[in-house]
Structure 1
């Protein structure tokens, strides 16, 4: 159509007909009809979220168990402190035996608000994971999706719970804001809130415990008590250390909730676990573990039994002494539980590194890198954080250095267009255009402190008939708006032409014609860019691959930038000629697209470039291929996953690494 108008084969009447009200209304109706029924769409979103959560949390559960051939059957009991719970069984265990399993227990609680407490490392997260997976297995269409949120990232004094939950769905599970808000507001998400005791800074010398007057935790409980679903308290699951929750009860507790407490691992359970994990081929434990087992059996309440009374400590011991040449019997001679725990933590990174193949990392450099990451989390503003989201790691270092590097990278990206100056007759003008665009990109990046959630790209959408139909409809709608702009430009020049020196005649007709061509081409270009952006956009990213978010954001920004460049070339070609006009338009469009994507972050690309700037600023302190290292640490059992966020295997490990920049002698 633009081709016909350029060559005089399309009249102004035809342009007016394109921009007629019936055409606009028809296209708007088509675009509005494409999304489908909102209720069915929300159900489909919830089903897809459930599938992603099941996949990621099942992998996380397997990773937490590691190579264990025997799982410790955690036992828990109801704490009789809540008088306003309608019903709650007396207790149960992780797996069904003679008592209720955790899923049956939760389904018997009314209202469905559960607080899981226990000692540090007692298995609260494992219990919550098993409950989530069990609920997902029996989930029916329309049921809420259990989603785990780390409470350490919530400043309850400044942020409402709804905003926190929506932000986490966007950041961790890669939902678009509209989708996250729809799921939360429609009660299609069952919050599983992990780590109430990690919301506030810890007290010095307290072993990692937060203050009993923890303001954020108290405020969080206050806001959670206000959450309602219909006329009842909104369902949720909350985990917290027993001692911390006991202290918080003086200020307030989670109302209408049943509280269970996980019992310590008994000496008999610890012996059974070690025997199954390190069997001599029969029913006896390996000889190198015999001294430990004998001590546990002889003194079931002794210091070693207390030190190994949680699943986390047993995992530490099993990993630290996985090597057959090591001697776990030395644990018996260490004295109290704190000495045993310090000794196991000092050996853990070294043992995990030596037993994990694949990247050739050495134990000292792994320890140093993990220390940097842990230290960055502990030093973040407010309470210490636990989530390591790749594209948010720049906040853990010198932000101004990352911002400057980001601006330089954005400017250099624009300068990649300089070779185009060699193919035009007036390179000076193009050089000025590119230079001005580069400066605009630099200043845009400097002013863009915050970066939004990463854009997701799904090329497979182009195989979807509905997406292709939407692409065609948006291009057509852009053409309609362009035709409307062309009519307005033509009328404006025709009316105001004499005032600006354009006299009636052939010259004025040429100017009006070119103005209408420009408006029509600009509308078509706008529709093309908007259509490409919406066609390849995806509101989901596999939570099992955190690196995918960064890669897709860069790909999305590049795709939109290139589309903008082609559209700009089209507009310029229709106005200034096909040859050099296209080159100028291509440069202008690419600069506009890059500025929009990589400088302002309006269309994706900002997140990926900020992450690259962070890596360049961390050379020598962190591995350049940080994503691969994080994946390796996950395989080694040093990290765990929560959606698309990495976390240290245990909060205790994070604190220990933050306080120890170098491996401890003898580890």
Structure 2
């Protein structure tokens, strides 16, 4: 490892600290000696810290060596997620809708020899089946690769969840765990390979799997390498049209001989990708069959739960589905589990008459639209359905605009105009500088001609410049951190992580820019102090800026290094993730604000007299420095919370969207309520519309 950047950075810091100390000596005195000792002591501490950074760390503390225990934790989290989904979907109420499947067209299936993993065996396996026996089918395929095709609403995701829960129910401790991955989140231009994308998704949904060992491998990568994760690749059809061929090719490129997976897609989207790219290697392909009139007769009458409801109210409509000609469109619509679920919500859960669903002569599209239009009013019958519909339309349009099915609370800021975020950034940053750093100039006891005016001018200029630059940066990116922290603060066992973060920081250009900003700020104050006085105040300003910059950088890096990834079972909902991120951000902000304020005021203590010729004790007589520390700490907390975490961007979005009426102030409560009502589903730390067809309908231009 090349260490000269670290050595150079340490040498520069130490040299300027010594220069700062020398500039304090013009008049001598015991107090000055104490100050010099403080500065030199800090310099020795910095040098000692740099020395400790040089050795290469061993295995990161806390990195799990027992992959069996780790994968068992992931299995519990996966089971909890999908059992909750099945409960909200009412999969078992009164009983699961039947699934049937048949072999798909051989033109989109690989050679049977490849599927059978035997060069001389070209016998087509028996692929037809029904119910939960998709697990048996999967195990009967020698290659362990299965593609399930189904039209929109055919129940592919529910089938995937049944597949996952069936495997988990039969799973032995330490064995592989099936994990559902949403293919719509894969951008192959950003994350090229299949394994890299799977690792990224695992570490995003289960942050503790991002822990790195001494060889630089994450726990997630080790689980994949050990074949302890069985990917269930859901929603290939939700990949953008122009990327499906690339995604299919990357899947093939990332397959190892013993790689197993299950993939779901709509038929036409999969066929189109296969035609342009080629089949999935060694994968058998089945297609879900539509529900039958007998399935509807057995199921829908048993879904009525209203007190005065009659099971017979479904009979007239169900009879029409058997009419050879007139019932064709109705039979087509009710042939998918999605439309049956919508029909149940609209008619079985209310007093509405099912015969209103379709008039004779209606097209299938008209019947579908009627069900989709009636779904939100039905599930919000006890609430303000109109407001709920407007808010859901906003969310659908927002996700379509971003090109993702995910409703992530930290990305809602993308719906706020950049100018608004930029103005908020300017006001917060400028105010923090004006009140935090400007406190000495506004309220200090400065003798006449001692430089108070210069301090005030420098504060105003620094606040305006920092606010404008920071506001532009924050507004352009609508925040700084793109994802939640997904970690808790922990001191024990974090030394290796803290030293590794400091080591990386010393090699980062961002650290150099950060220090440069502080040096420029210190120079500005030195220039103001030098007006009509000794020009040596400029050097004091330079050294003071570097002193404060280096000190606050060490504080921020140390506090950030205390973050420990949360365990897989800790994050069970987006609300949990928000609470964890907010709590972590607040604790980090308080620590950074308090300690950073102490560093800033230590700099003032050491530098006010050399720069301005007035003792610190005079300017801040009667304990005036105490409220100064509190105000500076508060400014630091505000800066950290607003821009160093996603919580600040979330707060801006929450206020703006509530003011514009796009979402209620209690946004997370609204999203959770929509999840509880079956409109949304939960995928890790984000929500999605439970049905892509519903999202498409709500986002449709009107």
TM-score bracket for this pair, using the shorter chain length: 0.7 to 0.9
Distance 2:33 2:683 in 1: 56
Alignment of 1:393-472 (within 5 A): 393-396=412-415, 398-409=417-428, 411=430, 417=436, 424-425=444-445, 429=455, 433=459, 436=462, 440=466, 443-448=469-474, 449-450=476-477, 451-458=481-488, 461=490, 466=493
* Deviation (angstroms), 1:363: 1.2
Matched, 1:371 2:415: no
8 Å Cα contact 1:437-1:591 kept in structure 2: no
Distance 1:140 1:149 in 2: 22
2:653 matched residue in structure 1: 614
User: In the superposition, relative to structure 1, how do residues 473 and 341 fare at CA in structure 2: closer, same or farther (>3 Å)?
Assistant: closer
Q: Which stretch shifts more, 429-438 or 648-657?
A: 429-438
2:283 matched residue in structure 1: 257
2:363 matched residue in structure 1: 336
Distance 2:221 2:59 in 1: 24
Q: Which stretch shifts more, 158-167 or 560-569?
A: 158-167
1:126 matched residue in structure 2: 158
2:668 matched residue in structure 1: 627
Deviations 1:57-84 (A, max 9, x none): 2212222226832211212233343312
2:130 matched residue in structure 1: 93
8 Å Cα contact 1:6-1:574 kept in structure 2: no
What TM-score do the two structures reach when normalised by structure 1? Answer: 0.74
Alignment of 1:195-206 (within 5 A): 195-200=235-240
Q: Could you list the runs of 5+ residues in structure 2 that have no partner in the other structure? A: 1-31, 118-124, 447-451, 504-542, 606-615, 618-622
2:120 matched residue in structure 1: none
Q: Secondary structure at 1:452's aligned position in 2?
A: coil
User: In the superposition, relative to structure 1, how do residues 582 and 276 fare at CA in structure 2: closer, same or farther (>3 Å)?
Assistant: same
Distance 2:599 2:436 in 1: 19
8 Å Cα contact 2:102-2:287 kept in structure 1: yes
2:696 matched residue in structure 1: 655
Matched, 1:238 2:256: no
Distance 2:222 2:408 in 1: 25
Deviations 1:93-130 (A, max 9, x none): 333xxxxx233332333322221111111110001112
Q: Which stretch shifts more, 79-88 or 119-128?
A: 79-88
8 Å Cα contact 1:640-1:647 kept in structure 2: yes
1:247 matched residue in structure 2: 272
2:252 matched residue in structure 1: 225
8 Å Cα contact 2:432-2:635 kept in structure 1: no
User: In the superposition, relative to structure 1, how do residues 145 and 520 fare at CA in structure 2: closer, same or farther (>3 Å)?
Assistant: farther
Distance 2:471 2:173 in 1: 44
Matched, 1:150 2:185: no
1:193 matched residue in structure 2: 233
Deviations 1:330-351 (A, max 9, x none): 3352433222211111111111
Residue 568 (structure 1) aligned to one of 596, 611, 615:
596
Distance 2:600 2:275 in 1: 70
User: In the superposition, relative to structure 1, how do residues 37 and 339 fare at CA in structure 2: closer, same or farther (>3 Å)?
Assistant: closer
Q: Secondary structure at 1:226's aligned position in 2?
A: helix
8 Å Cα contact 1:152-1:196 kept in structure 2: yes
2:524 matched residue in structure 1: none
* Deviation (angstroms), 1:374: 1.1
Deviations 1:631-666 (A, max 9, x none): 1111111111111121112111111111265xxxxx
Distance 2:317 2:414 in 1: 44
8 Å Cα contact 1:456-1:552 kept in structure 2: yes
Residue 328 (structure 2) aligned to one of 291, 296, 302:
302
CA RMSD of aligned residues (A): 4.4
8 Å Cα contact 2:675-2:681 kept in structure 1: yes
Matched, 1:389 2:408: yes
User: In the superposition, relative to structure 1, how do residues 312 and 536 fare at CA in structure 2: closer, same or farther (>3 Å)?
Assistant: same
8 Å Cα contact 2:78-2:179 kept in structure 1: yes
8 Å Cα contact 1:147-1:191 kept in structure 2: yes
1:553 matched residue in structure 2: 581
2:292 matched residue in structure 1: 266
User: In the superposition, relative to structure 1, how do residues 290 and 525 fare at CA in structure 2: closer, same or farther (>3 Å)?
Assistant: same
User: In the superposition, relative to structure 1, how do residues 400 and 112 fare at CA in structure 2: closer, same or farther (>3 Å)?
Assistant: farther
Q: Which stretch shifts more, 626-635 or 311-320?
A: 626-635
Matched, 1:639 2:680: yes
2:74 matched residue in structure 1: 49
1:322 matched residue in structure 2: 348
* Deviation (angstroms), 1:407: 4.5
Residue 598 (structure 1) aligned to one of 620, 626, 642:
642
User: In the superposition, relative to structure 1, how do residues 537 and 414 fare at CA in structure 2: closer, same or farther (>3 Å)?
Assistant: farther
Residue 106 (structure 1) aligned to one of 135, 138, 146:
138
